[in-house]
């Protein structure tokens, strides 16, 4: 059992990596595959591809609490493995799609199974003692960052052999990981810590309402939502902004995104593990959110392309906050509720993925044109900085008044 438990952590990390990689894998080839069903109409292909991306986020928003609740009832192993099977089926459906409707169906299933982040996060919380959870969630963040790097790069490479090849490869990787998990993934949730499934709780509204039972969780959920939203605003406008303001090529945009992914992986996979024992989760959270505010402000104020790369340093260091916040939140919730908690957080992430790009592109369209009055090209980044600052203020207020947090996190010496 010990050896299987050791193999379980790499398996969960690979699962998270594949979930993230699958999102980026289709970005280079998806618009052209959609266009192949529309007679090469670029405008129509762009609109439909945007709907496909939004559909994935909507499915995650709706189903993350469901999978989290199911993992609290039936265990993490079953939910994770079934999600991998569903992911493999979704990519195979898209690879074989005879029409545009089948692509939408495949993306719907991919969004549902991509909500396995809930069970994966709960699994990590189950097997990790509270004082080491920041490091463990940092590894999940690192896997996410690596997927962000590898997905578009692999999709572009494989797309050279055919528009459907990346989908076949994604299906094969998920199926192989499923077979691997059958042998190395033990159940992490004991029978006595399971609880009945309730559809009243396992929906986005019900799961968020349940967070109100834990004041620490509720307050820090607001902080996490601010972090999610600011991140999605940036992702939604990065390519448009850099191309319009600095005349970056598609390749330059891709390189910058790879740098972001690599920085995220290093910060969350290495720095979090090194700094948590020295600073503690509370200081790490405050430091990370402060640097995130600085990073977003820097992007908005940059007047030359090289400045964007310089600002990536504080921005990626802002990733210190995520694992620290997860560690504090999971320590405030019992083992029977970890799946529901992770479902709620991933549902919030899905909601931010829907709203963030809309807010960012709306601000860019309003304030960036030469004819805008006032003209503030960096408006989306300033908005993201303000939202991050609100998240920081919520955390500081909680730390100042909550004795619960003091009990969870030892005060600084």
**Backbone φ, ψ for residue 343 (5° rounding):** -65, -40
Mean pLDDT check: name the lowest of 40-54, 272-286, 353-367, 381-395: 40-54
Question: 379: Cβ–Cβ under 8 A, 6 or more apart, which residues?
Answer: 300, 363, 364, 366, 367, 368
Region of 99 on the Ramachandran plot (φ > 0 left; ψ -120 to 50 alpha; else beta): beta
Q: How confident is the model at residue 201 (pLDDT cuts 50, 70, 90)?
A: low
The per-residue pLDDT for range 128-161, each reduced to its tens digit, is 787 777 777 777 777 877 877 777 777 777 887 8
State CA 228 to chain mean position distance: 8
20: tokens are: 């993230």
**Total Cβ atoms within 10 A of residue 222:** 18
Q: Calculate what percentage of the chain has a pLDDT beyond 70.
A: 84
Domain membership of residue 224 (yes or no) is yes
Q: What is the C-alpha separation between 216 and 333, in angstroms, rounded? A: 9
Q: Report the CATH number that the domain containing residue 163 is assigned in CATH.
A: 1.20.1250.20
CA distances for 71 relative to 56, 76, 249, 290, 329, angstroms = 21, 5, 44, 34, 18
Residue 191 lies in a domain: no
> Which pLDDT score, from 0 to 100, does residue 412 have?
38
Long-range contacts of 94-98 (CB under 8 A, 24+ apart): 94/26, 94/164, 94/167, 95/164, 95/167, 95/168, 95/171, 96/164
pLDDT tens digits along 82-107: 888 988 999 999 999 999 999 999 98
Q: What is the mean pLDDT of residues 219-238?
A: 85
Q: Of 94-103, 132-141, 195-204, 391-400, where does mean pLDDT reach its minimum?
A: 195-204
d(CA 49, CA 55): 10
Whether residue 50 is predicted with pLDDT greater than 80 in this model: the reply is no
How many domains, the chain? 1
Give residues with Cβ within 8 angstroms of 232, minimum separation 6: 352, 353, 355, 356, 357, 360
Instruction: Provide the pLDDT confidence category of residue 110 given band limits of 50, 70 and 90.
Output: confident
Is residue 284 one of the residues assigned to a domain? yes
Question: Which residues, in sequence order, are CB contacts of 147 under 8 Å at separation 6+?
Answer: 16, 17, 18, 19, 20, 21, 22, 23, 24, 261
pLDDT of residue 146: 80
144: Cβ–Cβ under 8 A, 6 or more apart, which residues? 16, 17, 20, 264, 268
Q: Is the pLDDT of residue 341 over 80?
A: no
Model confidence band, residue 7 (pLDDT cutoffs 50, 70, 90): low
| Domain extent at residue 22 | 2-183+202-408
Residue 189 lies in a domain: no
Query: Does residue 268 carry a pLDDT above 80?
Result: yes
289 to 81, 302, 320, 380: CA distances (angstroms): 34, 20, 8, 18
**Tokens linked to 160:** 């050279």
Task: Kindly state the average pLDDT of the residues 3-7.
Answer: 54
| Residue 322, in any domain of the structure | yes
Q: Which helix (H) or strand (E) holds 152?
A: helix 133-159
Q: Between residues 298 and 115, which one has the greater pLDDT?
A: 298
State the DSSP H helix or E strand holding residue 87, giving kind and residue range, or none if neither. helix 76-95
Residue 242 is predicted with a pLDDT of: 83
Distance CA(75)–CA(72), nearest Å, equals 6
Question: What pLDDT sits at residue 298?
Answer: 95
% of the chain beyond a pLDDT of 90: 18
For residue 43, the model assigns a pLDDT of 60
CA atoms of 292 and 168, how far apart (whole Å): 37
DSSP sequence for 368-409: SSTT-SS--TTHHHHHHHHHHHHHHHHHHHHHHH-HHHHHHS
CA distances from 4 to 13, 178, 183, 236 (A): 15, 15, 8, 40
Q: Is 196 among the domain residues?
A: no
pLDDT band at 46 (very low <50, low <70, confident <90, very high): low
Please count the other Cβ atoms lying within 10 Å of the Cβ belonging to residue 225: 21
Write down the mean pLDDT value for the chain. Answer: 80
Q: Is residue 197 part of a domain?
A: no
Within-domain flag for 192: no
Query: Which of the residue ranges 134-143, 174-183, 230-239, 348-357 has the most confident prediction, judged by mean pLDDT?
Result: 174-183
């Amino acid at each position: 059992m010990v050896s299987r438990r050791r193999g379980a952590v790499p398996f969960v990390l690979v699962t998270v990596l594949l979930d993230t990689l699958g999102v980026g894998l289709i970005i280079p080839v998806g618009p052209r595959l959609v266009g192949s069903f529309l007679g090469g109409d670029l405008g129509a292909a762009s609109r439909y591809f945007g709907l496909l991306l939004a559909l994935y986020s909507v499915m995650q928003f709706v189903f993350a609490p469901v999978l989290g609740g199911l993992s609290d009832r039936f265990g993490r192993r079953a939910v994770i493995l079934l999600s991998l099977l569903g992911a493999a089926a979704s990519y195979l459906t898209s690879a074989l799609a005879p029409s545009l409707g089948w692509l939408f169906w495949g993306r719907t299933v991919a969004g549902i199974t991509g909500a396995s982040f809930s069970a994966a996060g709960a699994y990590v919380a189950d097997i990790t003692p509270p004082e080491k959870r920041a490091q463990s969630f940092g590894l999940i963040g690192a896997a996410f960052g690596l997927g962000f790097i590898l997905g578009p790069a692999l999709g572009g490479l494989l797309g050279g052999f055919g528009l459907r090849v990346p989908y076949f490869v994604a299906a094969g990787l998920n199926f192989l990981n499923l077979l691997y998990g059958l042998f190395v993934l033990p159940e992490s949730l004991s029978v006595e810590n399971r609880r009945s499934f309730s559809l009243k709780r396992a929906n986005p509204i019900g799961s968020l309402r349940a967070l109100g039972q834990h004041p620490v969780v509720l307050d820090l959920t607001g902080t996490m939502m601010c972090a999610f939203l600011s991140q999605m605003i940036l992702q939604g406008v990065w390519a448009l902004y850099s191309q319009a303001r600095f005349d970056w090529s598609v390749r330059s945009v891709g390189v910058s995104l790879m740098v972001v992914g690599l920085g995220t992986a290093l910060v969350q996979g290495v720095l979090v593990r090194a700094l948590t024992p020295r600073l503690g989760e509370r200081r790490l959270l405050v430091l990370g959110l402060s640097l995130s505010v600085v990073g977003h402000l820097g992007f908005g104020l940059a007047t030359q392309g090289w400045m964007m790369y310089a600002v990536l340093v504080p921005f990626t260091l802002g990733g210190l906050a995520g694992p620290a916040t997860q560690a504090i939140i999971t320590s405030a919730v019992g083992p029977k509720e970890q799946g529901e908690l992770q479902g709620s957080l991933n549902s919030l992430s899905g909601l931010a993925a829907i709203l963030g790009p809309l807010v960012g592109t709306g601000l860019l369209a309003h304030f960036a044109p030469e004819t805008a009055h006032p003209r503030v090209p960096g408006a989306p980044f300033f908005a993201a900085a303000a939202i991050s600052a609100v998240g920081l203020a919520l955390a500081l207020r909680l730390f100042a008044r909550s004795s619960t947090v003091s009990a969870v996190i030892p005060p600084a010496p």
